[in-house]
Amino acid sequence: MNNKFYSSILLLCLLLPLPALALKSDKDQPMNIEADRVDIDDEKGISTFRGNVVITRGSILIKGNVVIVYRDKNKDLDRVHATGKRAHFQQRPDNKPDDVIAEGRELFYDAVKEILIVRREGEVIQGGDVFQGEHIVYDTRRDLVEARGGGEDGKKGRVQMILQPSKKDPKK
């Protein structure tokens, strides 16, 4: 009985809308990249950065040991794949006071579809709310999140969430 109750609460929380990740101006900003090494295949639009990689673009910050940047035919950012002991993604949503911070062993950011996937020891934090799981997907266009524990069967590992209470106005 308790498992059904907790599962229902968890499912309800996962269906709550989350704020969009992107500042609208981020996509119009230049991308700055630092790394120890880079291999560029301009014909395929793939750049592989290795060693303490730091990427910034507007409010976006991506860090990892290895970061692969994919660009489309127009040389615009298509997607980013970051790996590391704790690959890091950070971005300020429009009209929100707190950044969204995501960490995991693998991060996939689809700049076109505006989807962030955090895999393997994933954690997403915003304003004190914390989501943890082996596979977390944010669809920022539709303000949806999907989180799973470990294993494809859903039996290994569990999703964990900490949701902060809303701040009450002391004048009321």
pLDDT, tens digit, 9 for 90 and up, residues 39-75? 999 999 999 999 999 999 988 899 999 999 999 999 8
Integer Cα distance of 71 and 42 in angstroms: 9
Q: With 70 as the cut, is the pLDDT of residue 16 above it? A: no
User: H helices of 16-151, where?
Assistant: none
Q: Is 116 helix (H, G, I), strand (E, B) or coil?
A: strand
Q: Which CATH number covers residue 90?
A: 2.60.450.10
**Who has greater pLDDT, 30 or 18?**
30
**Who has greater pLDDT, 159 or 37?**
37
Tens digits of residue pLDDT in 99-141: 889 999 999 999 889 899 999 999 988 888 888 999 999 776 6
- CA-angle at 117, arms to 122 and 74, nearest 5°: 145
Count of helix runs (H) and strand runs (E) in the chain:
1, 10
Is 167 inside any structural domain? no
Is 172 inside any structural domain? no
Neighbours of 152 (CB within 10 A): 8
Whole domain around residue 63: which residue ranges?
2-162
Tens digits of residue pLDDT in 20-33: 344 566 777 889 99
Is 12 inside any structural domain? yes
Is 65 inside any structural domain? yes
Return the pLDDT at 170: 63
Return the pLDDT at 3: 46
DSSP state of 17: -
Is 171 inside any structural domain? no
Tens digits of residue pLDDT in 74-99: 988 999 999 999 999 998 877 777 88
Is 91 inside any structural domain? yes
Is 96 inside any structural domain? yes
Q: With 70 as the cut, is the pLDDT of residue 8 above it? A: no
- Report how many domains make up the chain: 1
Is 169 inside any structural domain? no
Q: What is the mean pLDDT of residues 143-158?
A: 71
Torsion of CA 151, 119, 129, 102, to 10 degrees: 170
Cα 29 to Cα 76, 159, 168: the distances in Å are 11, 35, 36
